[in-house]
Structures are given as C-alpha cells and as structure tokens.
Homo-oligomer: A and B are copies of this chain.
Amino acid sequence: MMCQNGDMARTRGRAPAGGRADALSQEIVVGTAVELLDEHGERGLTFRLLAQRLNTGPGALYWHVANKDELIALAADHVLGEALADAPRPEGGVAGLRALAVTVFDALDRHPWAAFRVTAPATLEHTLSLLDRIGVLVTQTGLPAERHFAVATAIFNYITGVSAQIISPAVTVDPSVHRDVFLAETAAHWSRLDPAAYPFLPHVTEALRDHDDRDQFTTGLDLLLTGLTATTRPPQR
C-alpha cells in the first residue's frame, strides 16, 4: 500500500508538452479529489464520482494514481502544501514552532478528512517539508544535536496526531449532526455517569460544551513548548 513511489520519477500525470486541451494530470485529479473530499468526506469520495466530475471514466484515473489510498494520501499532502505556503516564515525558534503548528492545525481544521491521513515517517513532498521546517526550528533552539531528531519528531507527531484527535468528531460522527449538538449530547451523557465510577467527568461538562478546538490544540502545544524551553535552558536555580 501507500505509494512506494520509490526512486524513478514517474512521468505519469505530467501533461506532455503539446497534450490535448482536456488532458488530465495527477495535479488535476488530486485537486478535484480535495474538492470532493471537502464536500462529501472520505466515504463520499468514489472513483465514479470523481470520474464524472472530470468527464471521464473511472479507469482513466488509474493512469494518474495507483489506488484510492494513494489518492487520499496525495490529497492530504496537497492540503499540507497549501498550509505551508501560507505559513509565516519570519519567526524562528520556539515562537516560530508555535506559529507553524497553529497554521497547520487551522489547515487541517478546514479539511477534516486530511488530519487522519498525514502520517509519519514522512515520504510525501509537503509532509517531508513540514518535518524539515520543524527540524530547522528545533536546531535553532540550541538543543544538543543528538536530541534534534527526537524532539522534532515529537512536535511533528503532536501537531498531526493531536489535530486528528481534536478534529475527529467532524469525521467520525455523522456530519449532519452539528458540533454544538454533538457536544451538548456528550456533555449530557457525562453528567449522567455514576460519580463513583467517574469522579472527574461530571465536573467538566460545562467546559466540554463551551471549549474551543483551537484553544484545546494550543493548550497542549504550549505545555510541550514550555517543557522544551525548560529543557533547553535548565532551571536557573
């Protein structure tokens, strides 16, 4: 599964110099897939539907994409590419890490299906690019070189993994039920739990109902980054 694109730069999908006017390309196929995924979610994307929108047959798509897994992986990478293009460059160090993380979260929040499909260790273009940019910023923090990989990967995993968790209700749950309704129902469920078995949850139903996803993301992120600076500059007695 999953691309295994390997070495040989595949010419596939690159429209030949003097191709026809209505020529497909991997870029077009993936771009249209992103539209469809935004509209109907992962389950709603079918090769038939995609082919229909591109005025072709399902078979033609397989010239540009190996299978549905690769298509979705490429679509998710495409989303990440847009996010990175928008990401601010100026800041360095921990502030830059925070800004980059939030930018990526926002992008995944706009394309909920993508969050689950960005995976480590990276092999796709923009996923690699994200990890590399995190690595560069980590390098700037003055951490010893032997920790660069572990810390950069930890931050990458936090961004993609936690984003996926926070966004998951939008994907897992029936999309027809809105966020507020879902949270209200879940809060009601928590409030009905037996306090002997669940001493904590009944106390935080209000916080569940009112919380903001982005704040939830930055709460953990800031803990992580605080821990990072605390490690970088050991506690000044």
Contact = CB atoms under 8 A, between A and B. Distances in A.
Nearest to A73: B172
Q: Is the interface of A mostly helix, strand, loop or mixed?
A: helix
Residue from A135, A174, A225 having most chain B Cβ neighbours under 10 A: A135
Interface string A188-231: 01101100011111011001100100011001101111111011
A131 interface: yes
A128 interface: yes
A208 B120 CA distance: 11
Contacts of A136: 199-200
Q: How big is the A interface, by class?
A: 35 or more
A183 interface: yes
Given A153-B216, A162-B161, A2 B174 contact: yes
A80 interface: no
Interface in A76-134: 116, 119-123, 128-129, 131-134
B216 A154 contact: yes
Interface stretch (A17-25, A53-61, A143-151): A143-151
Contacts of A211: 149-150, 153
Closest 8 CB pairs of A and B: A135-B200, A161-B161, A154-B220, A227-B227, A149-B207, A226-B227, A223-B227, A161-B165
Interface of A: 1-2, 7, 69, 116, 119-123, 128-129, 131-136, 139, 146, 148-155, 157-158, 160-166, 168-169, 172-174, 183, 186, 189-190, 192-193, 197-201, 203-204, 207-208, 211, 215-216, 219-220, 222-228, 230-231, 235-236
